[in-house]
Amino acid sequence: MRLPSTAHTSRPWRIHEIAGDFQLEDVWALPTPGGPDDLARLVRQFTGDAPEPEAHHFSLVPRTLFAARWALGRLFGWDKPVAGPGSRKWTLRDRLPADLRDGPRGPDLRALPLTSVYLTHDEWVAELANRTVQAVMHIGWVPDGADGYRGQMAVLVKPDGLFGALYMAAIKPFRYLGVYPALFRGMGRRWQQG
């Protein structure tokens, strides 16, 4: 499921013109086979706006890891607001060209503190900014090489100084061993049920 960086960097995504100063952390193929117009369905499922019951619930492992992370964030103040006028963080919406800024933004996630930035026919972008990192989740809708399409997720990051870089390195094993596998298995099951 993990893909080489070129699976993201070689495509003509709009995100390249907006987040060129972010580091590409991961690229993943999503277990969501479909047709050319199914990105909107994936976004609804991912954000919890899908009609299927429990669509916005993650499985136990990611929920537990996220709960622990948010508890630590509250304890150490990592998640206090850092965006807004005069702050060192900003939203990617500030960088959008007019056509994206005036177009659909897409829904925010219910289960995670990610804010939607823009939605097109084949791209959806959501972001998060805190005192450790500014992160972007890019979901693209790509041909699967077998006359169909599927989702592809890229994670782009801008760590906040040395602490942010150390934080990203420390959570990497948890993301790879606990969060991503469980998240993608659950996503695949819900996609097939939907």
Over the range 47-82, which residues count as b (16 or more CB within 10 Å of their CB) and which as e? bbebeeeebbebeebbeebbeebeeebeeeebbeeb
Number of Cβ within 10 Å of residue 102's Cβ equals: 10
Q: 154 with 26: CB under 8 angstroms? A: yes
Distance between CA atoms of residues 2 and 26, nearest Å = 8
Q: What is the pTM of this model?
A: 0.84
Q: pLDDT tens track of the chain, all 194 residues?
A: 899 999 999 999 999 999 999 999 999 999 999 999 999 999 998 887 544 434 344 566 666 766 777 676 677 677 665 554 445 457 899 999 999 999 999 998 877 778 999 999 999 999 988 888 889 999 999 999 899 999 999 999 999 889 889 988 988 888 888 788 888 888 888 898 87
Question: How many residues in the chain?
Answer: 194
Per-residue pLDDT reduced to its tens digit, 72-101: 667 767 766 555 444 545 789 999 999 999
Residues 6+ apart with CB under 8 A from 53: none
